[in-house]
């Protein structure tokens, strides 16, 4: 199989999995949102936001770094996998202990506290989730897709059963945690199908130190990204209450459900970009520019379509109880373009080993987001939170590059992709080798 066909097939499998998520997961999710109502859904979303802020801490920023190192050291993958696994497991256990201590000294209202406790158990799953990095470097998305789809199907059936039995909101958090357990088991099973065994994983201090040294900027970047993804909902609860969190979460869910597209494209095209960098600089630059063209124009088209049809879709999906959310969605959908840009541009920093600049950009974006939320939420409510998100995304993905001289090559590549005649010309004369 040629490389082009291999990458295309890999991308199709990833999109197939996301299509299942849209078709089944999102459909069941709509039912859940309608069943719970704004207040209970707000409590559920608030608990997810708290745990979501912790999730990047448990991953340690190792995913992209590990893919890169597996490509560089194919004969030592058991050492790299084992070291990454034990690092993540240790981080998750320490995080669980810390979260429990925080809840002891600063208890939250029921059912939020119970949901945070049960959802926090899912923070252990990223440890075994490193298997997905191995599948990425092998360009074997099918194995990940199988595990994710089975876990999603089981979770969706569980949520439907909870709705039919009129279960309280706490049990929806329990189902979500069980989904992460099933996903981990599926990844292990498919890893063994390739003739690999987790028993062969070994810790090596030198490799663990190397991973930490390379990944810490990405790790802190992930924490910063989580901050401006989730902090708006936490701040909305402080000023406007759980009902407002439910309305806002319903609105942003419609656009955030499409975040899988830049992630899917990146997971497929990043390994061949890295391979080209190791072989030929001109080929690396060419593939990177094609990738940016694809990401930016896909983002613009999707954001434009959702801006047109988003309010109607939201009202149709969630019903009259979520009417206030319809006014929010058009303020939030421009963030989609900057998510596409961020996913693309961040890979340049990783490939060039300039993760520290990526940290600076996203940390600045997180600080900007928090500051804007403090100003705009009291002023404009839900719309203010959405506007704060868009501005901070734009600053981290593009605007901040103007102030970093080291990032100007990345800025030029991104800027060239906005020039449509140039994109058309590159498509006509494409050389995908």
Query: Which pair of tokens denotes residue 392?
Result: 């901070």
- pLDDT score at 139: 62
- pLDDT score at 32: 94
- pLDDT score at 6: 61
| Residue that wins the pLDDT comparison between 14 and 359 | 359
Number of domains in the chain: 1
- pLDDT score at 4: 58
User: What's the chain's average pLDDT?
Assistant: 87
User: What one-character DSSP code corresponds to residue 407?
Assistant: G
Of the pLDDT bands very low, low, confident and very high (cuts 50, 70, 90), residue 133 is confident
- pLDDT score at 112: 87
384 has pLDDT over 70:
yes
The half-sphere exposure of 116 on its side-chain side, counting CA atoms within 13 A, is 26
Of the pLDDT bands very low, low, confident and very high (cuts 50, 70, 90), residue 140 is low
| Residue that wins the pLDDT comparison between 20 and 295 | 295
The half-sphere exposure of 108 on its side-chain side, counting CA atoms within 13 A, is 21
| Residue that wins the pLDDT comparison between 399 and 355 | 399
The answer as to whether 26 is a domain residue is yes
The answer as to whether 280 is a domain residue is yes
182-206 pLDDT, tens digit per residue, is 999 998 898 888 888 888 888 888 8
The half-sphere exposure of 293 on its side-chain side, counting CA atoms within 13 A, is 17
Residues 160, 172: Cα–Cα separation, whole Å: 10
Residues 106, 380: Cα–Cα separation, whole Å: 29
The answer as to whether 433 is a domain residue is no
301 has pLDDT over 90:
yes
Of the pLDDT bands very low, low, confident and very high (cuts 50, 70, 90), residue 23 is confident
Q: Looking at mean pLDDT, say which of 137-146, 159-168, 279-288, 326-335 comes out highest.
A: 159-168
- pLDDT score at 403: 93
User: What one-character DSSP code corresponds to residue 276?
Assistant: H
Q: Identify the CA nearest to 88 among candidates 143, 131, 135, 152.
A: 131
- pLDDT score at 199: 86
H helix intervals, 241-381:
242-256, 260-279, 281-318, 323-332, 335-351, 355-380
The answer as to whether 75 is a domain residue is yes
Secondary structure of 322-360 in HEC code, one letter for each residue: HHHHHHHHHHHCCHHHHHHHHHHHHHHHHHCCCHHHHHH
218 has pLDDT over 70:
yes
Quick one: average pLDDT of 140-163?
87
3 has pLDDT over 60:
no
The answer as to whether 322 is a domain residue is yes
Residues 227, 315: Cα–Cα separation, whole Å: 28
56 has pLDDT over 60:
yes
433 has pLDDT over 60:
no
The answer as to whether 245 is a domain residue is yes
Is the preceding peptide bond at 282 cis, omega within 30 degrees of 0? no
The answer as to whether 257 is a domain residue is yes
Secondary element (H or E) of residue 241: none
pTM score of the predicted model: 0.82
- Asked if 191 and 184 touch (Cβ cutoff 8 Å), the reply is no
Residue 430 makes CB contacts below 8 A (sequence gap 6+) with: 290
- pLDDT score at 9: 66
- pLDDT score at 100: 86
User: What one-character DSSP code corresponds to residue 106?
Assistant: S
262 has pLDDT over 60:
yes
Q: Looking at mean pLDDT, say which of 70-84, 87-101, 263-277 comes out highest.
A: 87-101
H helix intervals, 199-241:
205-240
- Asked if 312 and 271 touch (Cβ cutoff 8 Å), the reply is no
User: What one-character DSSP code corresponds to residue 166?
Assistant: T
Max Cα-Cα span within the chain: 63
Q: Identify the CA nearest to 334 among candidates 391, 413, 383.
A: 391
Containing structural domain, residue 135:
3-428
């Amino acid at each position: 199989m040629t490389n082009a066909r291999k990458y295309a097939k890999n991308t199709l499998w990833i999109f197939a999995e996301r299509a299942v998520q849209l078709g089944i997961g999102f459909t069941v999710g709509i039912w859940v949102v309608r069943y719970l109502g704004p207040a209970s859904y707000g409590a559920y979303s608030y608990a997810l936001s708290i745990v979501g802020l912790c999730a990047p801490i448990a991953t340690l920023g190792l995913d992209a770094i590990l893919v890169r190192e597996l490509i560089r050291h194919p004969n030592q993958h058991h050492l790299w996998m084992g070291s990454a696994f034990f690092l993540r497991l240790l981080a998750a256990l320490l995080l669980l202990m810390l979260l429990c201590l925080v809840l002891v000294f600063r208890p939250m209202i029921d059912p939020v506290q119970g949901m945070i406790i049960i959802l926090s158990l899912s923070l252990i799953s990223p440890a075994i989730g490193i298997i997905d990095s191995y599948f990425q470097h092998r360009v074997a998305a099918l194995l990940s897709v199988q595990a994710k789809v089975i876990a999603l199907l089981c979770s969706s059936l569980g949520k439907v059963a909870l709705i039919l039995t009129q279960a309280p909101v706490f049990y929806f958090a329990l189902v979500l945690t069980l989904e992460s357990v099933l996903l981990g088991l599926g990844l292990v099973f498919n890893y063994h199908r390739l003739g690999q065994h987790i028993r062969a994983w070994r810790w090596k201090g030198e490799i663990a130190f190397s991973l930490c040294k390379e990944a810490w900027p990405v790790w802190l970047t992930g924490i910063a990204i989580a901050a401006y993804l989730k902090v708006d909902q936490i701040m909305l609860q402080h000023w406007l209450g759980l009902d407002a969190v439910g309305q806002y979460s319903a609105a942003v869910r419609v656009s955030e459900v499409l975040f899988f597209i830049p992630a899917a494209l990146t997971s497929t095209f990043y390994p061949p970009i890295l391979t080209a960098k190791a072989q030929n600089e001109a080929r690396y630059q060419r593939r990177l520019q094609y990738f940016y063209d694809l990401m930016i124009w896909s983002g613009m088209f999707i954001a434009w379509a959702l801006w047109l049809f988003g309010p109607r879709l939201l009202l149709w999906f969630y019903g009259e109880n979520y009417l206030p959310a319809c006014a929010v969605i058009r303020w939030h959908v421009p963030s989609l373009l900057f998510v596409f840009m961020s996913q693309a541009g961040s890979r340049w920093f990783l490939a060039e080993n300039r993760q520290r600049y990526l940290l600076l950009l996203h940390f600045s974006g997180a600080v900007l987001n928090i500051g804007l939320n403090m100003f705009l939420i009291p002023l404009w409510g839900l719309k203010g939170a959405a506007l704060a998100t868009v501005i901070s995304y734009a600053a981290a993905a593009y605007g901040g590059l103007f102030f970093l001289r080291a990032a100007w090559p990345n800025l030029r590549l991104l800027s060239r992709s906005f020039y449509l005649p140039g994109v058309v010309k590159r498509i006509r004369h494409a050389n995908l080798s």
